[in-house]
């Protein structure tokens, strides 16, 4: 067991341990949420906290500002980790009203409840890190969302997460994390600039 305090002061390792334990407990309360049927969205499926922490360890060293957006935030697990472990200012988006309400209990007006593609470009442009774990069952809609986010992110911002198409032009994206031997593409990439990206939000 990692000591959570030494001489009455919190240890960094203890904060990590305690935070992951608390948010995993929170996630477990929502596992049955996946029984709800929805033809458009995947049910809530927590991204493993250990994987998130591993990716964000490198992201936090590269990020240029504090604003973190979790697309498909569920009950706010990754928002809380981003806040408590990395000192980022978390925002979330979640289509399910019950899950969005839980995240909003912690972070108030920073949680958007509705369809992800309705998020304004001006809002996305303010973010310094966007975590994207595709919520759509339909591959075209998943690609549509990825392009919507990529198109409107500002240069210097980091896109991180899983289930990405990875149709990135390497002239405009710098790899931050890309070492995940999985059928899902996982990692993080910094936007250098991506002019002329097709606006599939209007064409698909």
Q: Where along the chain do its domains lie?
A: 50-191
Supply the pTM of this predicted model: 0.80
Rounded to whole angstroms, the Cα distance separating 44 from 27 reads 10
Length of the chain (residues): 204
Mean pLDDT of all residues in 105-114: 93
14-56 per-position pLDDT tens digit: 766 666 666 665 555 554 444 555 678 877 776 777 788 888 9
Rounded to whole angstroms, the Cα distance separating 157 from 125 reads 9
Q: What is the pLDDT of residue 84?
A: 87
Rounded to whole angstroms, the Cα distance separating 32 from 72 reads 17
Rounded to whole angstroms, the Cα distance separating 132 from 64 reads 18
Rounded to whole angstroms, the Cα distance separating 193 from 151 reads 9
In this structure, what DSSP letter does residue 41 have?
B
Res. 89: pLDDT tops 80: yes
Q: Which residues pair with 5 in a beta bridge?
A: 10
Given CATH 3.40.50.150, say whether it is the number of domain 50-191.
Answer: yes
**Residue 1 CB contacts under 8 Å (≥ 6 apart), including other chains:** none
DSSP 16-34: HHHHHHHHHHHHHTTGGGG
How many CB atoms are closer than 10 A to CB 79? 26
Rounded to whole angstroms, the Cα distance separating 123 from 183 reads 31
Mean pLDDT of all residues in 151-162: 92
Element (H or E) spanning 86, and its range? helix 77-86
Q: Could you tell me what percent of the chain has a pLDDT over 70?
A: 72
Helix, strand, coil percentages in the chain from 3-state DSSP, rounded to 5 = 40, 20, 40
Mean pLDDT of all residues in 162-177: 80
Strand ranges for 31-157 from DSSP E: 67-71, 89-94, 111-113, 129-133
């Amino acid at each position: 067991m990692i000591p959570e305090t030494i001489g009455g002061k919190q240890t960094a390792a203890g904060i990590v341990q305690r935070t992951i334990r608390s948010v995993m407990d929170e996630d477990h309360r929502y596992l049955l949420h996946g029984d709800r049927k929805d033809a458009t969205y995947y049910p809530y499926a927590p991204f493993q906290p250990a994987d998130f922490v591993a990716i964000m360890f490198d992201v936090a060293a590269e990020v240029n500002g504090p604003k973190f957006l979790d697309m498909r935030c569920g009950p706010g697990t990754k928002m809380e980790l981003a806040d408590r472990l990395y000192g980022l200012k978390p925002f979330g988006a979640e289509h399910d009203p019950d899950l969005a309400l839980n995240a909003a209990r912690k972070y108030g007006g920073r949680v958007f409840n509705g369809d992800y593609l309705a998020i304004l470009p001006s809002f996305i442009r303010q973010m310094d890190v966007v975590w994207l774990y595709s919520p759509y069952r339909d591959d075209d809609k998943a690609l549509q969302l990825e392009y919507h986010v990529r198109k409107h992110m500002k240069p210097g911002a980091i896109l991180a997460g899983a289930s990405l198409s990875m149709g990135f032009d390497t002239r405009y994206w710098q790899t931050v994390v890309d070492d995940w031997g999985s059928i899902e593409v996982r990692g993080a990439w910094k936007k250098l600039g991506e002019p002329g990206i097709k606006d599939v939000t209007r064409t698909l």
